[in-house]
Amino acid sequence: MESDELLLETLLARFEEGTRLAKICHTKLAEAELKIQQLEKNASGELQLKSVNRGDDSPAE
């Protein structure tokens, strides 16, 4: 029984660590996406945000 509890504790700790790392990765990705955006003037001279081509067919979120 004790070994099952230790296994569960280990699994929960790993899950929590994975969740923490996933949040960090999401934040880093969002920061990187902001860095690759650029301002561009449209036909009426107004500035608008344009994403640089990411090199894949994934839609930007």
Give 23-61 pLDDT, tens digit per residue: 999 999 998 888 777 667 777 878 777 766 655 555 554
The gap between the terminal CA atoms of the chain, to the nearest Å, is 46
Q: Shortest CA distance to 33 belongs to which of 21, 51, 6, 19?
A: 51
Mean pLDDT computed over 5-23: 96
Q: pLDDT value at position 27?
A: 97
As given in the structure block, the two tokens for residue 21 are 């790392």
Bigger pLDDT: 38 or 15? Answer: 15
Residue found by looking up tokens 């561009």 in the block: 40
Identify whether the C-beta of residue 38 lies closer than 8 Å to the C-beta of residue 52. yes
